[in-house]
Chains A and B, each alone.
Chain A
Amino acid sequence: MSQLGMQLPGSQARRQASLNVYTGLLLVAVLALGAAVGVAWVNGVRVAPGGQPWKTHPASGPLQLK
């Protein structure tokens, strides 16, 4: 029943989740990923065609840098 979220009387009271060290590590990882995405974005804008970092240059033809 506990899997259904029901709190039956007389049952052991469920404990509330708390912040732990993994939460802190995830926060640090998120921050690092955000910084990496920013740097990759800035530099990708410089080498991507038309200033769009998601795009890639065609195999042939002239480069179209911003």
Chain B
Amino acid sequence: MHPLTKVLVVLAALLSIALAALTIAYTGNAERVRAEFQSERELRQAAQDAAARDMTSHESERTRLRSENDALQAQIAGLTSTIDNLQREGARLMADLQNAQAAGLGVQAKIDQLTATNQTLTTLIAQYRTEVTTLRSNELRYAQREIELSDRASDLSGQLEVAVENNRSLQEQLVSLRDQLASAAAGAGAGSTAAGDTIRPSFPIQARVTSVRTDATGRVLVQIDAGSNDRLRERMELSLVRGNQFLGKVIVQAVDIEESVGRVDFLSMPRTEVRQGDMVMSVIQ
């Protein structure tokens, strides 16, 4: 055998021994690593399952939190809107407050002005009171004087009325005498109306004809708006006039409270139509 062959045989033996040892150790370690790897993989699977469960729970939690977050965001938005509204309301109230303060200052100024005006008016009223007092005393004095003058005028008026009545009475007597004289001159023995049958009022009477009619004998009857309240009596003799025209005499035949009826005596004058509205008075003025 060649020495090289021997050397190779020895080397092959040594390498075989070393390979066997390495293979044994490697196999044991590999098995141990594989078991450890399996264990770790199971642990990893368990960890993944736990992580998945946690992820699921976290997902639900995150969903819940997201919904809560959305709700809170909406609430925040609402609160922000409310805050904005409140801020605007506050600004408006502040402006109103400033306006109210300005108005208060204006009112205060007006109050001061009115106070000054009140003082001025008080002074004026005091002056007016003094003046009115003086005027009242003067007016009272003038009224007393007017009363005295009025009494004096009444006295004079009464005297004047008496004189006028006397004058009227005299004028009527004169007219009556003229009528009698004319009747006597005409030869009429007895008149339709005796002078002694009538009464001449001694007071002034003025009434208005309200209606005119004719009785069965053709005599004209007039109704006037004066009666017993005006001291009219039956058989009183009144004058019937229209303006300044003397129409005739009215002999009162029936007297009521507020009205009377009388017969018209045209005397010797031509018969004139009596109209509603003609005046009847006690004397010819």
Interfacial residues, chain A to chain B (CB-CB below 8 A) = 17-20, 22-23, 26-27, 29-30, 33-34, 36-37, 40-41, 43-44, 47-49, 53-57, 63, 65
Interfacial residues, chain B to chain A (CB-CB below 8 A) = 1-5, 8-9, 11-12, 15-16, 18-19, 21-23, 25-26, 28-30, 32-33, 36
In the complex formed, the residue of B with least CB distance to A27 is B8
The answer to whether A53 and B22 touch (CB under 8 A), given A23-B2, A34-B15, is yes
Instruction: With both chains docked as a complex, state the minimum distance between the C-beta of B11 and any C-beta of chain A, in angstroms.
Output: 5
In the complex, what distance in Å separates the CA atom of A34 from the CA atom of B4?
Answer: 17
**Other 19 A-B pairs with CB < 8 A, given A27-B8, A33-B16, A40-B19:** A22-B5, A26-B5, A30-B11, A30-B12, A33-B11, A33-B12, A33-B19, A37-B15, A37-B18, A40-B26, A43-B26, A44-B25, A48-B25, A49-B29, A53-B22, A53-B26, A56-B25, A57-B29, A57-B32
Instruction: With both chains docked as a complex, state the minimum distance between the C-beta of A16 and any C-beta of chain B, in angstroms.
Output: 9
In the complex, what distance in Å separates the CA atom of A63 from the CA atom of B32?
Answer: 8
Instruction: With both chains docked as a complex, state the minimum distance between the C-beta of A19 and any C-beta of chain B, in angstroms.
Output: 5
Instruction: With both chains docked as a complex, state the minimum distance between the C-beta of B170 and any C-beta of chain A, in angstroms.
Output: 173
The answer to whether A37 and B2 touch (CB under 8 A), given A26-B8, A56-B29, A63-B33, is no
In the complex formed, the residue of A with least CB distance to B15 is A33
